[in-house]
Amino acid sequence: MNALISILAAATTALDSDRVRRALDNFEGYLAALLLFVYLFIILYDVGTRNFGRPPVWGQEVVLGLFIWLAWLSTAYAVRTNSHLRFTLVFERLSQRGVYAVYVLEWVLWVAFAGVIFWYSLDITANVMETGTTVVGLPIPVWLFRASIPVGFGLILLRVAQRAVITTRAFRAGEEIGTDVGLGE
């Protein structure tokens, strides 16, 4: 038991580091940026080989898979930074209690939408894993691309929960909440 407590204490101390906390807070942004460079490189490689030889048979499938990862990671990042599409004009005309009520409605809708997709995508991803299908011309399993859906929507659910906790704390403390409530920024 003491060993478990010391491991948890060490993990908590490691997470208290500003650098580690920033990396975890911006996980989706960093991973999306890395995937975007890979995405760009593969597109350039595919176009280049198409003009000067034979393009790889796997190029289009890998680019499509990376695009799906980018879409869901970017959505989670938008929820994290509170930069997704919303009607800010409505927020400006409401009292703080009204703004908070709109936030609660937004969180309920996010959880319902993302929760349903997350739940059903787990089964779909498991089915693709069972088939053992790989990307044409590469030993990369197709389920790695399909896993972007449960991972992305899981991150969306996590970021919605973080946003709900932070905004609720600010509201209860009497702080002004609006469209720019951040995650500790």
Q: What is the pLDDT of residue 87?
A: 65
Count of Cβ atoms closer than 10 Å to residue 73 Cβ: 25
* Mean pLDDT, rounded, for 135-154: 90
Q: What is the pLDDT of residue 8?
A: 47
Q: Is residue 184 part of a domain?
A: no
Q: What is the pLDDT of residues 76-96, one digit of tens each?
A: 888 887 776 666 677 778 888
CA atoms within 13 A on the CB side of 29: 12
* Mean pLDDT, rounded, for 110-119: 95
Report the number of distinct structural domains present in the chain.
Answer: 1
Angle at 66 (CA atoms; ends 139, 63), nearest 5 degrees: 75
Q: Is residue 179 part of a domain?
A: no
Task: Give the residue numbers spanning the domain of 106.
Answer: 2-172
Q: Is residue 178 part of a domain?
A: no
